[in-house]
Amino acid sequence: MASVRSGLNVSIEQLKDFCEQILVGLGVSEQDARTTSDVLVQSEAWGIATHGVKLLRGYARRLRDGGLRSNASPSVDKEGLGWAVIDGHSALGQVTTKMAMETAMAKAHRCGTGFVTIRNSCHFGAAGYYAWLAARHGMFGMAMANDVPSVAAPGSKGAILGSNPIAYSIPIGNRDPILLDMSIATVAGGKVMARVNRSEPIPAGWLVDSEGRPTQRGELYPHSASLAPMGGHKGYGIGLLIEILSGVLSGAAFTTGVGSWLHGDRSVPTNHGAAVMAIDLAAMMDPAEFAARMETLQREIHEAPTADGSPPLMLPGEMEWRNFHRAKSQGLELLEDVVASLEETADECGQSSLMSTLN
Amino acid sequence: MASVRSGLNVSIEQLKDFCEQILVGLGVSEQDARTTSDVLVQSEAWGIATHGVKLLRGYARRLRDGGLRSNASPSVDKEGLGWAVIDGHSALGQVTTKMAMETAMAKAHRCGTGFVTIRNSCHFGAAGYYAWLAARHGMFGMAMANDVPSVAAPGSKGAILGSNPIAYSIPIGNRDPILLDMSIATVAGGKVMARVNRSEPIPAGWLVDSEGRPTQRGELYPHSASLAPMGGHKGYGIGLLIEILSGVLSGAAFTTGVGSWLHGDRSVPTNHGAAVMAIDLAAMMDPAEFAARMETLQREIHEAPTADGSPPLMLPGEMEWRNFHRAKSQGLELLEDVVASLEETADECGQSSLMSTLN
């Protein structure tokens, strides 16, 4: 069911307008509503359905119940030449993280590097969006966040760390930039739930039960099972790095202290932490030379021999950019459950339905 | 055979002196010899035998044949407030990377962050050493490097990227810092070769043959098999990040352009790339508060319930620090093949044997 196409085709602009309208109706400023909609719809267009417009319903409920503050604006708490600590004051995570990346880029413009750690944020959607902001300006970008624990450590009985997304983006001249957006789990929890919904088997290596044993019983997740860390101790170690730079260093909550934005009390802020980094590549190497070297690397990868039946190798993000360009020219064909979620959100917020706005 | 203890016990200082003497005999300055020995012996004491003093033989041969230049000194090619590009001029990778991390720390002291990319370097030993340099001064440290291709991408027939080590270190007050040092492969090539040497089976998921199919025939590695990337496309994506920040951005060689420091022509520089980063945590959070929060995180991890038969969870590096403290108090019990390699090196360099220096 989760992957059934609705037959409904919307343009990127129509979808952004719809999301903006919902958020403005909840007291969010036009600018912040635009920012948040842009993150959600960009992710949808990249084909990252788990981090697309489906998230709007949860954000809208938190805005109504007070755990997200519609009138809050993030502020710089402390800063130096190449760094800042930002307090999100429980504004939408998208608003806070975008501002943080813009701050990091301004620092990098001056110093070559910029690092910003963030507290009092919330779920920020797809980490890749913020990394891409930097790549759009010729910079290296990286973004990460902590989250409520869902991922086991090797040997643990339960979840120790959040899915702790991390993303980076690197420009390739005027081509679409490299874009990797991943969690530290072997697979994202959303994929487990999608398989459970479709009554499909769960592959070995995805889940660990509450006794710390490998399990393929998807229905146990998330209450009685946790996600296995990618690469065992390596995924666990990268997850800790993210937890510390995002949560510990910023003054945000960390590990079990982080609230569940989806399942927790919606009137209480989650206090997620996040961190972003920008590096001004143009300071270090002439942009034309860097672009030429990146194009050489890309060509090498594209031309590398692949196993029988395997398509040519891609750089991270190439699939997402194909999805995006198709969505731009042909519109987005939303999935049934995405449409249902949007219509429910419109209904709950007393706004016009998506269907009616498309006429 | 590779894991047989020699019965020979040496102190950390004795082993450093021995390595220094070999390097000084090859025309390396006393200071650079001390730096290189310190990296090698520290790694040996951490128990990272694949990156310990066994590497000395290969470095010594390259120094003799000219691929490593004993009288070269790394220099800053370009720099700004928070960044630098360093040219190693084919000095020992340890000398260049230590200088790079010291440069990054000086930048971070002023700007909060420092990033240095490095060209004309060579094999640098254990990445964790350089990350730890920063943690010793209360900073976050990260180090990475590219290498001759040995790791497959998902679907590729052969190796696409190097093992591309990446390490980070984060201080925990006065305790031993977190220290993660990993390659992007599921397991390091050294572990494959050790199992082949001991005629032990190779687990599924470690290797990919020259047709791009999974294989457990360890004897194919490295000529007709490559290492599987950890977590599939995730390890591949992280490997690319390292390749770009280390190799592409610095002007070093990348992918197939990198020379093999061990198997390649020893008179030709390898032109490895590397990158290091430091973040001055104390600028962002009061060190006492940061230490207290890190101690809380460590306690949480130590106290987390584990599966039946599993020991308590550890932070990355705890095992290595135990090894180090034991080596410091009781000396290092070198493995047979390590002793053999050191004695061969001494012999090739016309220096006193390790045995004779211990009297």
pLDDT digits (tens, 9 = 90+) for B16-29: 999 999 999 999 99
- Which pLDDT belongs to residue A91? 98
Domain co-membership, A94 together with A169: yes
For every residue of A77-129, DSSP letters joined together read: EEEETTEEEEE-TT--HHHHHHHHHHHHHHHHHHHSEEEEEEEEE---S-HHH
Average pLDDT (A331-338) is 93
Q: Is residue A302 part of a domain?
A: no
Give the tens place of pLDDT for each residue, A121-142. 999 999 999 999 999 999 999 9
Pick from A288, A351, A278, A332: nearest CA to A22? A351
Could you tell me what percent of chain B has a pLDDT over 90?
A: 93
Verify whether the Cβ–Cβ distance B255 to A311 is below 8 Å: no
| CA B310 – CA B302 distance, rounded (Å) | 12
| CA A156 – CA A93 distance, rounded (Å) | 30
- Which pLDDT belongs to residue A79? 98
Residue among A156, A213, A279 minimizing CB distance to B304: A156
Domain co-membership, B129 together with B264: yes
Structural contact between residues B105 and B82, judged by C-beta atoms closer than 8 angstroms: no
- Which pLDDT belongs to residue A3? 66
Give the tens place of pLDDT for each residue, A144-179. 999 999 999 999 999 999 999 999 999 999 999 999
Please indicate if any CB of chain A lies within 8 Å of the CB of B205.
Answer: no
- Which pLDDT belongs to residue B1? 42
Q: Is residue B85 part of a domain?
A: yes
Verify whether the Cβ–Cβ distance A243 to B156 is below 8 Å: no
Residue among A83, A248, A293 minimizing CB distance to B112: A83
- Which pLDDT belongs to residue B191? 87
Domain harbouring A30, CATH code: 1.10.1530.10
Residue among A211, A284, A316 minimizing CB distance to B249: A284
Q: Token pair for residue B184?
A: 């992007």
Q: Is residue A300 part of a domain?
A: no
Verify whether the Cβ–Cβ distance A313 to B158 is below 8 Å: no
Domain co-membership, A146 together with A83: yes
Give the tens place of pLDDT for each residue, B341-357. 999 999 999 999 999 98
- Which pLDDT belongs to residue A247? 98
Q: Is residue B304 part of a domain?
A: yes
Q: Token pair for residue B302?
A: 């130590």
For residue B97, give its domain range: 72-185+229-316
Domain harbouring B137, CATH code: 3.30.1370.60
| CA A226 – CA B305 distance, rounded (Å) | 14
| CA B178 – CA B202 distance, rounded (Å) | 30
Domain co-membership, A272 together with A331: no
Give the tens place of pLDDT for each residue, A69-78. 999 999 999 9
Please indicate if any CB of chain A lies within 8 Å of the CB of B114.
Answer: yes
Is the pTM higher than 0.90? The answer reads yes
Residue among B117, B293, B297 minimizing CB distance to A284: B117
Please indicate if any CB of chain B lies within 8 Å of the CB of A206.
Answer: no
A358/chain B closest Cα distance in angstroms: 38
Pick from A65, A54, A114: nearest CA to A85? A114
Domain co-membership, B78 together with B174: yes
Q: Is residue B16 part of a domain?
A: yes
Rg of chain A (C-alpha set): 20
Domain co-membership, A169 together with A271: yes
Please indicate if any CB of chain B lies within 8 Å of the CB of A173.
Answer: no
Q: Is residue B205 part of a domain?
A: no
Domain co-membership, B42 together with B137: no
A294/chain B closest Cα distance in angstroms: 7
Domain co-membership, B14 together with B136: no
Please indicate if any CB of chain B lies within 8 Å of the CB of A311.
Answer: yes
Q: Is residue A296 part of a domain?
A: no
Structural contact between residues B254 and B274, judged by C-beta atoms closer than 8 angstroms: no
Pairing of β A75-80 and β A83-87:
antiparallel
Is pLDDT of A143 > 50?
Answer: yes
Query: From the candidates B234, B254, B295, B310, which should be mutated to test the interface with A, based on the most A CB atoms within 10 A?
Result: B234
Please indicate if any CB of chain A lies within 8 Å of the CB of B234.
Answer: yes
Query: From the candidates A183, A226, A234, which should be mutated to test the interface with B, based on the most B CB atoms within 10 A?
Result: A234
Q: Which residue has the higher pLDDT, A208 or B191?
A: A208
Domain co-membership, B133 together with B148: yes
Could you tell me what percent of chain A has a pLDDT over 70?
A: 99
Give the tens place of pLDDT for each residue, A178-203. 999 999 999 988 889 889 988 999 99
Domain co-membership, A27 together with A123: no
Is pLDDT of A4 > 90?
Answer: no
B215/chain A closest Cα distance in angstroms: 13
Q: What ipTM describes this predicted complex? A: 0.97
Is pLDDT of A2 > 60?
Answer: no
Beta strand spans in B122-211 (E): 140-145, 151-152, 159-161, 166-172, 175-182, 207-209
Could you tell me what percent of chain B has a pLDDT over 70?
A: 99
| CA A130 – CA A102 distance, rounded (Å) | 9
Q: How confident is the model at residue A109 (pLDDT cuts 50, 70, 90)?
A: very high
Mean pLDDT for chain A overall: 96
Verify whether the Cβ–Cβ distance A156 to B305 is below 8 Å: yes
Q: How confident is the model at residue A5 (pLDDT cuts 50, 70, 90)?
A: confident
Please indicate if any CB of chain B lies within 8 Å of the CB of A233.
Answer: yes
Q: Is residue A220 part of a domain?
A: yes
Residue among A114, A238, A255 minimizing CB distance to B297: A255
- Which pLDDT belongs to residue B3? 66
Domain co-membership, B129 together with B47: no
Domain co-membership, A209 together with A150: no
Nearest chain B residue to A255 by CA distance is B297
**pLDDT averaged over 10-residue windows placed end to end, chain B, 359 residues:** 76 98 98 98 95 97 98 98 98 98 98 98 98 98 98 96 97 98 93 89 94 95 95 97 98 98 96 98 98 98 95 98 98 93 97 89
Residue among B112, B155, B290 minimizing CB distance to A313: B155
DSSP three-state, residue B135: helix
- Which pLDDT belongs to residue A1? 42
Give the tens place of pLDDT for each residue, B204-223. 999 999 999 999 999 999 99
- Which pLDDT belongs to residue A51? 94
Verify whether the Cβ–Cβ distance A83 to B111 is below 8 Å: yes
Nearest chain B residue to A241 by CA distance is B168
Is pLDDT of A232 > 60?
Answer: yes
Verify whether the Cβ–Cβ distance B313 to A155 is below 8 Å: yes
Q: Total domain count for chain B?
A: 2
